[in-house]
Amino acid sequence: MPPDYHTHTPLCKHAEGHPREYAARAVDLGLPELGLSDHSPMQTYFDDWRMAWEEFPKYLEMVDEARAAHPSLPIRLGLEVDYLQGGEAWVEELSKAADFDYLIGSVHYIAPGWDVDNPKYISRFTEGSVDEIWALYFHLYEKAIRSRLFDFMGHPDLPKKFGFRASGDLRRFYEPVIQALVDTDTAFEINTAGLRKDVREMYPAREFLVLAHSAGVPLLINSDAHAPGEVGADFAQAVQLAQDVGYTHSARFEKRRRTLAPLD
């Protein structure tokens, strides 16, 4: 099994279980490493699904507690960081706030106040809007990659979460993003959480993976766990998918340096 680097804590207000429990689950599964990567704080209140900046020291404390409870398991420190146009300086400042092993780049907000994966905005996915939503998302996703602020990118095709897909050949969205990954030497993840959402499909789609592998883009496999029982969820299926399209290795991170390990 590969490591699981995309996990959350109750500080984000929509997850449960102490990091000690996530680590215990990783040990039970025989994972070689675990990464904790809760939603990054903003300088001031931004939304109700991330830790407050004042809680950041508590986050570091919880990670240390998990490490103390499971000394044989390498536990990496990360954050899932939202890319917002104009917010690059804050990400740079945040990256120096602790001794991070990695930062996950993600796009949730495609317009002010509109997080594309939030169920309360599902009515905005209409027959005439889906193509525009995908275009907005992937435009920002490419910009996030080209900012070079992140070690790997999370859930590459998140707008499909509720089962809505753009029309026609989706390579028009995938190819610019994959080129940006190549140009910046940035990895991306297979995120198994999509199997637990309405779309019932991992992020990203198989066609994205085929193109990424052909371009030589490294990947990780992560669960996006919001509860201890989700750590390593569906990893066997994800490993099989990665191998089916030709991947033989997955990425690992320590002190923001990437290495590759066999994908077994």
Report percent pLDDT > 70 for the chain: 100
Signed CA dihedral, 110, 112, 114, 117: sign only: positive
1, pLDDT greater than 90: no
- Determine the pLDDT at residue 127: 82
- Determine the pLDDT at residue 186: 98
264, pLDDT greater than 90: no
241, pLDDT greater than 90: yes
In a domain, 2, yes or no: no
The pLDDT tens digits for 62-103 are 999 999 999 999 999 999 999 999 999 999 999 999 999 999
Query: Mean pLDDT throughout 248-252?
Result: 98
259, pLDDT greater than 90: yes
Q: What is the pTM of this model?
A: 0.97
B/e letters for 144-173, b = 16+ CB within 10 Å, e = fewer, are: bbbbebbbbbbbbbbbbbeebebeeebeeb
Dihedral pair phi/psi, residue 61, rounded to 5°: -65, -40
In a domain, 208, yes or no: yes
Contact 236, 31 (CB under 8 A): no
In a domain, 25, yes or no: yes
CA angle, residues 146, 194, 62, in degrees to nearest 5: 75
Write out the residue range of the structural domain in which residue 134 sits. 10-262
Angstrom distance (rounded) from CA 100 to CA 109: 24
In a domain, 3, yes or no: no
List, as one string, the DSSP characters of 11-53: GGSS--S-HHHHHHHHHHHT-S-EEE-PBPP-SS---SSS--G
- Determine the pLDDT at residue 198: 96
152, pLDDT greater than 90: yes
In a domain, 22, yes or no: yes
Query: Mean pLDDT throughout 31-35?
Result: 98
- Determine the pLDDT at residue 93: 97
- CATH number, residue 187: 3.20.20.140
User: In angstroms, how far is CA 221 from the centroid of its own chain?
Assistant: 10
Query: Mean pLDDT throughout 168-190?
Result: 98
Query: Mean pLDDT throughout 232-237?
Result: 98
In a domain, 53, yes or no: yes
In a domain, 93, yes or no: yes
In a domain, 5, yes or no: no
Counted domains in the chain: 1
